[in-house]
Structures are given as C-alpha cells and as structure tokens.
Structure 1
Amino acid sequence: MNTETQTETWNDRFGASLMRSLTPPKVMLERGQGCRVWDVDGKEYLDFLAGIAVNSLGHAHPVLVEAIADQAAKLVHVSNYFATPPQLELAERLKRITGAGDAGRVYFGNSGAEANEAAFKLARLNKGADGRKTRILALKQGFHGRTMGALALTGKPALQEDFLPMIPGVDHVDTTIEALEHAIDDTVAALILEPIKGEAGVVDLPDGFLAAARRLTEEHGALLILDEIQTGVGRTGSWFAFQHLGVVPDAITIAKGIAGGFPIGALVTFGRASELFSAGQHGSTFGGNPLGTRVANAVLGEIEDAGLVDAALVKGERIRAGIAAIASPLVEEIRGRGLLIGVGLHRPVAAAISAAALERGLIVNAPNEASLRIAPPLIVSDAEIDEFLSILAQSMAAVEGADQETSA
C-alpha cells in the first residue's frame, strides 16, 4: 500500500526542479484564508509569519482578490514609458503616509532588494560640492537583500563570502552611537539602516541611536536612508517605524507588506534627496505596473479604513504579555514593536521550537538559533492570538522536556 503523502511527492519534485540556492520547503502549502493556511495533505496551520511580514491582510482577503481581478481585466502592464492612474495614486498615497509631502518623490521597483538597489544609487549621487563623498555606512548584522548592491550593504559576512569581492565603498559599523561617531565624516554619502533589525532576530536599535544618526548625517551632509521593508506598512503600530521616534529621514525603502503578497517595492525620498535622480539614471521594466500599484492601493486603503495600524500596537502588546506569561526558562527577552516581535532565547533552540510549533499547526520563524520571529497578519484576532500562545507554550515545553531527557 502506497502511504506516500502529497507533501513527500512535491518535495521530490522541488528537489529535482528548483535551484539549490533554495532550501527544501518545510511543508507544501496549497491555499489560505485569513490567518490560516492548508498544506497539500489538508493539514491546517495558524500563520504567524505572514510570508515574513508580507501578507498584511492575511490570505485571500476579498479586497486584495477583487483588486487583482478587476485590474487584470483592464490593464496589467504598459512599461515605464507610460503613466497609469493606479501608479499616480499610489505615489501620492505613499508621499502622504510617509510624511514626505509635496517635496517627496517615489520610485517603484518589484522587491525590497530592488528598492535598496535604488537607494544605493541615490547614495552614490550624493557626491557633495567637491565630489569627495565616496563612502556608505551600514550596520553590522543589518540585512538589505541578496542582489549585489543590497548584499554589499548587508552586514553579514557569511552571506557575502561566496560572492567576493563586494561592491567597494561600504563600511559596516557596530550599532553604537560611539562607533557611528567614530566612523562618520565628510566623505560619507549615506548611512543606511533598519529601524529594527528583522533578519538579525527582530533586534531593536539602542535608545537614542536613530536620533544620533540623524544629527550626525546632517552635520556631515550625508543621507539618512531607512530600510523600512520589514518594519513598514503599519506593522510596528505606525505607518513606518521612524514615525515613533520623531526622526525625519532623507529616504526610506518599502516592500513586503505594501501589497499584501503582490511583488512591489518603492523608494520614497524626502526634501533635497528628491532632486538627486535625473531622467535615465535608473529604471525598471515592471516597476510601478498598473496591477501591482492597484493592489497596493487596495491593501493600504483597507489597512487605513480598518484601523489596522493602531490595532497593531494593541495586538502586539497582547502577544508580548502572553509570551511573558508563559514564563518559559527558554525565554531571555522579548523584542520589537507592534506585530513585529522577536523572542530572544537563552539557548540555541529556536529551530527546535519552530519545528515543534509546525507539528502542532503553528508557523513561526527562527531567523537564527537564538531567536524566534513573530509577524502575524495585521488582521489577526484576539482568539487567534490566544491560540498562538497556547501552541507556543506547548512547543516550548516539548523542547524543554527533550533537553531534560538529553541531559539526563
């Protein structure tokens, strides 16, 4: 009797057809609804990763589905030789919600990495009056993407090692005000950083760091560019994480949650940075296409109309309090803001907890061995939060029990 599941069959096909740069899938998902997904064998999972902070409205949200179907029946792609109403509407919407205002400008790409590639070019254009601005600063353990420019900005040597030499001119500094003060001078064209380091395990910046970064970049004529790809679009309880801190950057990059799963990215500039690009210096065939921008408008409109930005703070506090109440000896600290939460662990058991949770029907992520990342859809309900906390507690207890048996 053949007991092979569909998942096992799909795993074989995946291994035979997909590039080996991708790791084998944990499960093979077939459909989703709200905060839940189902695999090809019919098993149900509560999704507290949301495609790595992408599925802002969860899965199969009617607003997103309707926008895709309606726009696909009208106009999908026209190239960047032409403007379309959804493109202009989204650019104006992003200027409003970022606070860039009338002086702001928007460039559209198709991903976070593409947005950061555009930001890299923007930094290169900030040459200074004497042309001496040749350096870009980024943070150690920061993550900005895997294309070559974005990878050069990424402060993770292990990811760069196989692709050396990197694009020159990028220096990575420790995430301290003292290190930043030591590194920055008048040769620095830009400082790029994440307001919360997502891929490092949802790690907060030190108190006062962003304000110091703004002060120092202004003093030295450098651009302050914030990578809001994971922290943006309401996830931290404001439209963008920098808005919690009263700091105005020169540019931000946006992707992930902007269109609820449809690929789109953007670079938004503020003030003088809006004057740096000129015609022909950058472009994208698919960037800003009418389908992607229509979907993004629909998603952002629903987030706004449903009050999901403010709700992210309230729901995030419920999750944080619930994790603390589990009182697991594995938990060292709880990081992040709103619905982007990192759980720092005393021992390198994050992958084991993630696997135990998956067995019990919960999707959470282990970005490294000592951290869990929690990023549910913004539409998550209180009942789903309680369910998540119950499964997480069971999963942590199972890992604790396995550790005790091993040590015995």
Structure 2
Amino acid sequence: MLENIDKQYVMQTYARNYVNFKRGVNATLFDDTNKKYIDFTSGIGVVSVGHGNERVANKICEQVRNITHISNLFLIEPQALLGQKINELTGYDVATFFANSGAEANEGAIKIARKYGQTKFANKKYKIITLEHSFHGRTITTVKATGQAKFHSDFFAPYPDGFRFDPSLEAVYQAIDDETVAVMIELIQGEGGVSPFNKDDIQKLAKFLKEKEILLIVDEVQTGVYRSGEFLASQLYDIEPDIITLAKGLGGGVPIGAVLTKHKDILSAGDHGSTFGGNYLVTTAALEVLDILENYKNSGLLDEHLIYFDMKLKELRTKFSEIMLDTVGLGLMRGIKIKDDETLAKIVSNAFAEGVLVLKSGRSTLRFLPPLTITKDEIDEGFERLENALKKI
C-alpha cells in the first residue's frame, strides 16, 4: 500500500528498496515488522552520531519550542557559535557560509572562486579543474564539475562552461592555463570507489597551486566531520586548502551544508544567500553533533573503533579473497574492491536480506559508512550478518 502511494505521488528518481524503517538506536534499525538491521551506511554518511541520538533530539526539541527559523536578515546565535566552533576545530582561520546540502556548499565554493578570479587578477580567471571519478553534486553546475561523464546527460544540457575533469593529479598540472582559478578535489573519492589519494602527491599539488595563486578547493562533504578519523581529511594530509565544503555528518541527520574559506571577505552582502541555510534548527543540531564527536574523538573511542572496524574488514576480505580483492579508504569511510559489478550487486542484495545495510560505489566497490558512534557489538553483528550473506554467493 505505502509502496503504491510512493510510486503514485513521489517522483521516481531513486531505485528504492521498499523497506519501511520505523525506529533506530545508534547503528541499529528496525522496520515495521520489527526486523533488525545493522546499518553500515548511516544514510550515506549522514547519521554521524547514530539513529535516535537522545542528546541531539533533546536539543532539537528544545530549540523548536522556541524558534525554528527567523531568516538570515537577523543574528542567529547558534549559527555564529557554530562558525566559531568550526574555525576552532579546523585550526585554520576561516569564515563559514551555511547552506542546506553538499551540492549547495559546492556551489558556494565555486562562486567564491569565481569572484576571486574576477577581482584578484587583471585578466579574469574562471576555469575550475576537477578529477575523473569525482562527485560534487546534482545541480546543473555541480554535476558539470563532477568528473563522471555518465552524469552529463544531454537531457539537462547545456551546462555552464569553465569546467574540465582530468584523469589524474599529474594531468592537472598540464591542464592549468591562464584562465584557471581553482582545482577542486576530494581527498578520498566516495562515489569513485572510496579511493584516497597519496599524501605526498596532494601536498605537492597544494604547494604548486599556492605558488601560482590558484585556489585549492577540497570537497569534504563526505570526508569531513571526523569521517576520516580527524575533523577534516585535510588535517590528515597536512594541507590548508583555500576553500573547504562540508555537509552530510555535520547535522547528524538534519540538512546542512557549509563553505569554509580563508578568503573571509571575498563575498559582500548580496553576493550569496540562502533562505533556510544555517537557521536555528540545523545549527543547534550541528553544535550538539560536534560536541558529541569532539569528546568522542578526545576520549580515544573513535580511534579505537576505527582500528577495530579495519581489523574486521580485513578479516572478511581474507575469508572471501576469491571475490574480494582489496580493502580501501580511511577512517570509517571504507570499501572493499569486488571482482565485478554483478557480484557486488549480489552482495548488497544478500546483505539486505540478512539484515545489514551496505552501499555500492564506483569501480566495483562495496562501501561502508557506518555511524561514527557504532559500537564494537554492532560491528561484530554487522560483519557476522555480512559473512552469512557472502556464504550464499
């Protein structure tokens, strides 16, 4: 019945699995038949502090009873405090613009880069280079910035010009010309196979771009907010980008995006805006999420659970080495390379039947994005269920 309603009244832009989840506790979900699932997806990296987190729920309820939204024409206390907190956690001197999603955050980053290119140089610079297998969003502009031709459908053309994607970091150097204003990368390509770049190569590129006064934009929509083990993956790579984008795990489930930049005065009043961005509801939730995760990191539990998850992942790969080729990723943004896409699809389907949620990624990769607060018991149960699924292939 519910499936029919969805198909009749909701645009069918997703290949849905029609399970009806009713409640969740940390990394555990229950559907309307009370069947239990271990969630290794966290809503594609969003539910960073777990399902049904009482601290976040209480803060949201408290805020909604007072003010949910008032618009950015007025001071928003939790927004200002969240900007301060982000500045503190990055260790960089940044100002933040708040949006509603990762795609919007990346749109904001592109606008900052374009204005920089217009105002910094005698001759306008506007071109932005991205990488093959990247993913930066679904808007007309961010989908063009995405380095996957399959997303550039003629149905939505023409796309904005000024974008190109290259097959490797090495190719970027040759692609830069007098009109290049920025290079936009993910340090770990989530949709592109959970593939981290080499640290030395990233540092070399960052140094080169700084010397050329070309901006480095790092899309941390998926890698940010402790997903890599640090607040930013950029911190793991020991680089300081000009612009960083965040979303997904920042709100713990409420929609929020953020653009962080060292060029704090580049945008003036009226250059950019958002009706909902950074309102009382989402920034209150995000402040609580960051407080939970900062303390979790400082306690040593996050690192302990990262190590434990890595161990279980490698054990699974060893047991099923005939179909599992290698483990990839960092922190709790992980993957296993599978021998082919057909086998990958069977694993995801069988895993669901066994009550464990996993994801597909590009280049035949089984992707894992569990809540950062996942417990060892939940990890054990999830891998036990996944092993049962693999035995049936």
Q: Quickly name the TM-score band, shorter chain normalised.
A: over 0.9
CA contact (8 A) 1:37 1:44 kept: yes
The answer to whether structure 1 residue 24 and structure 2 residue 16 are counterparts is yes
The structural deviation recorded for 1:314 is: 3.0
1:115 to 105, 110, 123: 105
Q: 1:367-378 to 2 correspondence within 5 Å?
A: 367-368=361-362, 370-378=364-372
Once the two structures are TM-superposed, the CA of residue 310 in structure 1 deviates from its matched residue by 4.9
Q: Does 1:164 align with 2:177?
A: no
Matches within 5 A, 1:50-61: 50-61=42-53
8 A contact 1:48–1:363 mirrored in 2:
yes
Q: Which runs of 5+ in 1 are unaligned?
A: 1-8, 400-408
Q: CA RMSD, aligned part only?
A: 1.5
Distance 2:182 2:300 in 1: 31
Q: Determine if the alignment matches structure 1 residue 97 to structure 2 residue 89.
A: yes
Match of residue 342, structure 1, among 335, 352, 358: 335
More moved, 114-123 vs 345-354: 345-354
Match of 1:284 in 2: 274
Counterparts of 1:317-336 in structure 2, within 5 Å, are: 317-326=307-316, 327=318, 328=320, 329-336=322-329
User: Cα deviation per residue 1:310-367 (whole Å; 9 max; x = unaligned)?
Assistant: 5444323322222222321211111111111011112222121011111011001112
Determine if the alignment matches structure 1 residue 383 to structure 2 residue 373.
no
Kindly state the Cα deviation for residue 29 of structure 1 after the two structures are TM-superposed. 1.5
Tell me, yes or no, if the aligned pair for 1:139 and 1:175 is still in contact at 8 Å: yes
Aligned to 2:134: 142
Q: 1:342 to 1:223 in 2, by over 3 A?
A: same
Number of aligned residue pairs: 386
Distance 1:336 1:86 in 2: 33
Contact 2:199 2:237 in 1 (8 A): no
Aligned partners of 1:68, 1:169: CA distance in 2, in Å? 41
Letter in 1 for 2:283: T
Contact 1:350–1:368 (CA under 8 A) maintained in structure 2 = no
> What are the ranges of 5 or more consecutive residues in structure 2 without an aligned counterpart?
none
Kindly provide the CA deviation profile for residues 222-242 of structure 1, in whole angstroms up to 9, marking residues without a partner as x: 110111010010111100101
Cα deviation, 1:95-148, whole Å, max 9, x if unaligned, reads: 1111223xx211000111110110110111122321331211111110011011
* Letter matched to residue 283 of structure 1: G
> Is 1:365 matched up with 2:359?
yes
State the partner residue of 1:76: 68
Quote the Cα distance in structure 1 between the aligned partners of 2:271 and 2:215: 18
Task: Look up the SS of the partner of 2:209 in the other structure.
Answer: helix
Structure 1 residue 249: deviation in Å? 0.4
Residue 199 of structure 1 is aligned with which of 191, 200, 220? 191
Partner deviation per Cα, 1:145-200 (whole Å, 9 max, x = no partner)? 10112111111111111322211000101123x21211123421111111100111
SS in 2 for 1:391: helix
Separation of aligned partners in 2, 1:156 and 1:314: 35
1:397 alignment partner in structure 2? 391
Distance 1:350 1:255 in 2: 27
Equivalent-residue separation in structure 2 for 1:308 and 1:56 (angstroms): 16
Are the aligned partners of 2:297 and 2:303 in contact in 1 as well (CA < 8 Å)? no
Cα distance change on mapping 1:53 and 1:239 into 2, 3 Å: same
CA apart distance, 1:207:
4.3
How far apart are the structure 1 equivalents of 2:62 and 2:281? 9
CA distance in 2, matches of 1:23, 1:173: 30
Q: Deviations over 1:59-101 (max 9, x none)?
A: 1111111011000011111111001211110010011111223
Residue among 1, 6, 20 paired with 1:14? 6
2:264 counterpart SS class: helix
Following superposition, the deviation at residue 14 of structure 1 comes to 1.3
Task: Check conservation: 1:238, 1:244, Cα contact below 8 A.
Answer: yes
With structure 1 as the length reference, what TM-score do the two structures score?
0.91
Among candidates 122, 129, 132, match of residue 130 of structure 1: 122
- Counterpart AA for 1:319: F
SS in 1 for 2:105: helix
**Paired residues for 1:149-298 under 5 Å:** 149-161=141-153, 162-176=155-169, 178-270=170-262, 273-298=263-288
Percentage of identical aligned residues: 33
Question: Which one-letter code corresponds to 1:354 in the other structure?
Answer: V
- Residue 340 of structure 2 aligns with an amino acid whose one-letter code is R
How far has the Cα of 1:16 moved from its partner? 1.1
**Match of 1:5?**
none
Conserved? CA contact 1:319–1:389, under 8 Å = no
Deviation larger for 305-314 or 13-22: 305-314
Structure 2 length-normalised TM: 0.95
Aligned CA distance change for structure 1 residues 310 and 226 (closer, same or farther; 3 Å):
farther
Contact 1:314 1:338 (8 Å CA) reproduced: no
- Counterpart CA distance in 1 for 2:2 and 2:26 is 24
The answer on whether the counterparts of 1:234 and 1:308 sit within 8 Å (CA) in structure 2 is: no
